[in-house]
Amino acid sequence: MRRSALYSSSSHSPRVPDAQPAVLPTQPAQRPRFAALRRISPHDPRLLWSAIALLTVLLALSLGLALRPGPPRLTQVAIDRAVLKTLETASLPSPAAKAYEAIFPSVVRVVGYVKSKDGKEDMAHDVGTGVVIVDKGIILTNLHVVQGAQTIKVIFSDGLETTASVTGVQPENDLAVLQAHKIPDDMIAATLRSTADLRPGDQVLAVGFPFGIGPSASSGVVSGLRRTFRSPEGQQEMSNLIQFDAAANPGNSGGPLVTMDGEVVGIVTAILNPSRQRTFIGIGFAVPIENAAMAVGMPPF
């Protein structure tokens, strides 16, 4: 019986080629992809327009800098306008205020004292005004302010109070010269001015202690020159006086009559009042400073 050939003899079975491993077909290696840079042609119109735009911006900036207004040129006309504008808007002191400020440090209060009947206390005999004309403490005042006083005291503008002595008199002009025994450290003497160029109508300022109140200032004008005045008692006549209308009352005696520059042209000495009232009605008299300077021994102007 024939057996089914399940197995073939190697010599008789057909030879089967040896199996080879399967090889997959290879893909070519892929290179990384980059966006291609496009070359811009110099004839590209977009490049031309960009250049035109840039030049336009630069030109606009240049024109803007060139046309921008620079700082205004300083001229004399501009300076004059600025000064005039300041003078129109600024509040400046009046001439009388400036004159008062200039003379104030040199004005003193003068008080003459006498002893009481029992001799125990000093009593005010008269109150007047004086003006320092030498910074060593030499003061001009009226003779009638200190005449008969046993003690004389002066009070300076800074409040310093001291005694003083009479060192000279000029009775014909009702003048007395005082020497203060103490003076302020910053003593300022008044500036004296000749009356040679003084004219009626010139503004003047009278500074003093009317009725002991002050220092007080009153302004007016020179009313006349070379006037003559006789005292109400008829005991004395003075000549070559300056007549003025700045208010003056008892206590102004011996005070300075000054110009608007604060310079002394006279020493207030008397007022005219037809009545027996010792009050001002518009006419005052001052001794010219030339006469007053002679009383101190100062050379005339």
- CB hemisphere CA count around 159 (13 angstroms): 0
Structure-token match 């960009």, residue found:
50
152-174 exposure pattern, b = at least 16 Cβ within 10 A, e = fewer: bbbebbeeeebebeeeeebeebb
Give catalytic status of residue 174 as yes or no: yes
Which residues is 134 bridged to in the sheet? 138
Asked whether 158 and 136 are in contact (CB, 8 A), the reply is no
For residue 82, CA distances in Å to 92, 158, 161 come to 16, 39, 47
d(CA 62, CA 18): 90
Q: Pick the catalytic residue: 125, 126, 144, 245?
A: 144
- Residue in the structure block whose two tokens are 């103490």: 182
Residue length, the chain? 301
Give the Cα separation of 65 and 80 in Å (integer): 31
Any idea what DSSP says for residue 173?
G
Alpha helices in 107-186 (DSSP H): 143-146
Which listed residue (106, 216, 219, 253) is catalytic?
Answer: 253
Beta bridge partners of 222: 244
Of 106, 174, 218, 223, the active-site residue reads: 174
CB atoms within 10 A of CB 88: 7
43 belongs to the catalytic site:
no
* Residues known to be catalytic: 144, 174, 253
